[in-house]
Amino acid sequence: MNEEFIIRQQELVENPTPRVPICLVLDVSGSMSGEPIEELQEGVRMFFDAIRGDDVAQYAAEIAIVTFGGVARKALDFFAINRQEVPTMYADGATPMGEALDLSLDLLEARKTEYRNAGVDYYQPWMVLMTDGAPTDSIDSAARRISELVKTKKLTVFPIAIGDAANTSELARLSPNRPPLRLKGLNFREFFLWLSRSVSRVSQSTPGESVTLDADGIKAWGQV
């Protein structure tokens, strides 16, 4: 049992605030090189800063990051946000989206088990998928798992297409209840600021309570 795992469990005991687990599944394949990966990096950094600056969300939000570029990789595991550093992301390789989604689902399931074992309540988990292309592996397994979780209200998914080359048909398989959205240009910062406000709104509610997200705010960064 490694030291980080022990600290993660201890933190759940010391801070029993209901958690909002958010998994960012981010495309860092070769086509994201240059300005796209730079803007994505800055958007994620702003997201973390906004959560840290929120009096409630800083104790409730837990963020994991899975990247996929050549291979799917756990770049950051769920933890108290004041103990986390935003990883530096590099663009390279193909687009193993299916592998990344399955890894993300496994991380979410493992963290939910840890919450239950520690007696900590949690809100419906969120998964944010951002990609500028099409998967180079099968997403069939992940699509089935996600569809079942969404239908039983155990997961909220935000599939975000980056640029015109992103395959929205594949993304639609991951979002039974809402169409995937396409980022306007490289408006990563506007998206992640909207996401932080949404997390803040949820963290001030009661677990299980229905929360209406800022639909008007989506217009600043996204389009169908």
- At 214, is the pLDDT very low, low, confident or very high (cuts 50, 70, 90)? confident
Which residue did the predictor score with more confidence, 61 or 176? Answer: 61
* Planar angle of CA 110, 212, 119, nearest 5 degrees: 30
Name the residue with tokens 């756990």. 74
43 touches 85 (CB < 8 A) = no
Q: Which amino acid, 26? A: L
Q: Tell me the C-alpha distance between 123 and 21, whole Å.
A: 7
140 touches 176 (CB < 8 A) = no
191 touches 43 (CB < 8 A) = yes
Sequence ranges of the domains in the chain: 17-207
Task: State whether CATH 3.40.50.410 applies to domain 17-207.
Answer: yes
Average of pLDDT values for 197-203?
93
Tens of pLDDT, residue by residue over 24-80, are 999 999 999 999 999 999 999 999 999 999 999 999 999 999 999 999 999 999 998
Bridging pattern class, strands 181-183 and 126-131: unpaired
Percent of the chain with pLDDT over 90: 81
Q: Average pLDDT over the chain, rounded to whole?
A: 94
Q: Tell me the C-alpha distance between 137 and 122, whole Å.
A: 32
Tens of pLDDT, residue by residue over 138-172, are 999 999 999 999 999 999 999 999 999 999 999 99
pLDDT above 70 for 8: yes
pLDDT above 90 for 11: no
- At 1, is the pLDDT very low, low, confident or very high (cuts 50, 70, 90)? low
